[in-house]
C-alpha cells in the first residue's frame, strides 16, 4: 500500500514557509504522496477553521514541484466543474511536465452550493460537466501527433507528458461508474472498512463487466495517535479490502504539529505487514 498525507492549503497553516516545510518533511520521511484540497469561494458563515483563506491547488502543486524532488503531488480532490476544461488540462500537463511525472489527479464533482453560486454555475449539471471535462482531458493526453480538435478548432496540445493517473472522488453509483469509464482509481472520503467493503466489491464487478483492470482505491482517513499497533492493523485491514493508497488527513497549525502526523503515519506504515 502506498502512503500519503494531506497538506493544508487553508487558514493559518497555509503560509509559504509552513507548506514548504511540510512538503519537505513528508518527502524526507519517505512518504509516497502529498495531497491538497480544493475550495475556491468560502462564504463568511462557513469559514470556521480556515477564515476563508484557501490557496489554489493547481498553483500550489506547481510551486511544490519545485520545492521537492521525489514525492508524488496529488489533488484530493480538484472540483472539476468549477473550471474551464481546456485551461485545466493545460495546468495538469504543465504540473506533470515540471514535476517529471509526479502528479496524481484526484477529481470530484463538488458539493458546496455557495461556491457554484459564486461561480455562476448550476450545481444540478455538475456531473455532466465533470464527464465532459474528463473526456477532453483524456483526449488531450491521448492525441496522436499532439493534435486535438475542440469546438471545431484543431490545436497542438504541448507539452504532452504521460497523463497522470486519474482518481475519481465521491460516493455512490455515479462515482463508481465514472471511475470505470474515465478513471484509474476511486478516491472515497473516509476509511471505514465496513462501509468500503461492499463498495469496493461492487467497483471490482463493474470493472470486470467493462473489461477494465481493477481500479486503484485511495482513501483519506485518520489514525489513532495513541496506538501505532492499532493504526497498523487498520492499514492492513484496508489493504485486504483492496485499498491501494492511504492518505492521512488531520488538522495542524504548525510544522511541528504536521511532523507529529508524519511520525504517526511512518510508525503505522512500518508496523503494518
The model's pLDDT over 229-260, given as tens digits with 9 standing for 90+, comes to 999 999 999 999 999 999 999 999 999 999 99
Which of the 8 DSSP states describes residue 30? T
What is the total residue count of the chain? 273
Indicate whether 273 belongs to any domain.
no
153 in any annotated domain:
no
Give the pLDDT of residue 266.
Answer: 96
What residues of the chain score a pLDDT lower than 50? none
Q: Is the dihedral of CA 25, 29, 30, 33 positive or negative?
A: negative
pLDDT (0 to 100) of residue 228: 85
Residue-range definition of the domain harbouring residue 223: 2-80+92-125+159-254
Q: Which tens digit of pLDDT belongs to each residue from 187-217?
A: 999 999 999 999 999 999 999 999 999 999 9
Q: Is the dihedral of CA 177, 183, 185, 186 positive or negative?
A: negative
User: Does residue 151 lie in a domain region?
Assistant: no
CATH number of the domain that residue 30 is part of: 3.20.20.30
In a domain, 146, yes or no: no
Please check whether residue 40 lies inside any domain of the structure: yes
User: Strands, E, within 24-71: which ranges?
Assistant: 33-36
**pLDDT value at residue 213:** 96
pTM tops 0.85, yes or no: yes
pLDDT of residue 226: 86
User: Is 130 within a domain?
Assistant: no
Terminal CA-CA length for the chain: 10
pLDDT at 273: 76
135 located within any domain:
no
* Amino acid 24: pLDDT: 98
Q: Identify whether 72 is part of a domain.
A: yes
Which residue intervals of 68-122 are DSSP H helices?
85-98, 113-119
Contact partners, residue 211, CB within 8 Å, separation at least 6 = none
* Burial of 124 from C-beta contacts in 10 A (0-12 / 13-18 / 19+): exposed
Total domains present in the chain: 1
Please report, for the chain, how many H helices and E strands are present, in that order: 9, 10
SS3 assignment, position 189: strand
Predicted local confidence at residue 162, as pLDDT: 98
Amino acid at each position: 500500500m502506498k502512503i500519503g498525507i494531506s497538506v493544508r492549503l487553508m487558514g493559518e497553516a497555509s503560509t509559504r514557509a509552513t507548506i514548504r516545510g511540510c512538503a519537505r518533511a513528508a518527502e524526507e520521511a519517505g512518504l509516497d504522496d502529498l495531497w491538497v484540497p480544493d475550495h475556491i469561494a468560502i462564504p463568511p458563515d462557513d469559514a470556521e477553521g480556515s477564515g476563508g483563506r484557501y490557496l489554489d491547488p493547481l498553483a500550489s502543486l506547481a510551486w511544490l514541484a519545485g520545492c521537492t524532488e521525489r514525492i508524488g503531488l496529488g489533488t484530493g480532490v480538484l472540483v472539476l466543474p468549477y473550471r474551464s476544461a481546456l485551461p485545466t488540462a493545460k495546468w495538469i500537463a504543465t504540473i506533470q511536465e515540471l514535476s517529471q511525472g509526479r502528479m496524481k489527479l484526484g477529481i470530484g464533482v463538488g458539493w458546496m452550493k455557495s461556491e457554484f453560486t459564486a461561480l455562476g454555475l448550476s450545481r444540478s449539471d455538475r456531473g455532466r460537466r465533470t464527464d465532459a471535462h474528463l473526456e477532453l482531458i483524456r483526449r488531450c493526453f491521448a492525441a496522436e501527433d499532439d493534435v486535438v480538435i475542440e469546438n471545431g478548432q484543431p490545436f497542438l496540445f504541448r507539452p504532452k507528458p504521460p497523463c497522470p493517473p486519474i482518481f475519481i472522488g465521491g460516493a455512490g453509483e455515479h462515482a463508481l461508474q465514472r471511475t470505470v469509464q474515465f478513471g484509474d482509481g476511486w478516491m472515497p472520503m473516509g476509511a471505514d472498512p465496513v462501509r468500503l467493503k461492499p463498495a469496493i466489491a461492487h467497483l471490482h464487478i463493474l470493472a470486470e463487466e467493462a473489461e477494465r483492470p481493477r481500479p486503484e482505491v485511495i482513501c483519506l482517513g485518520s489514525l489513532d495517535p495513541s496506538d501505532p499497533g492499532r493504526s497498523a492493523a487498520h492499514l492492513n485491514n484496508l489493504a485486504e479490502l483492496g485499498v491501494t493508497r492511504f492518505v492521512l488527513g488531520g488538522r495542524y497549525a504548525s510544522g511541528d504539529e504536521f511532523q507529529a502526523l508524519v511520525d504517526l503515519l511512518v510508525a503505522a506504515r512500518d508496523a503494518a505487514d
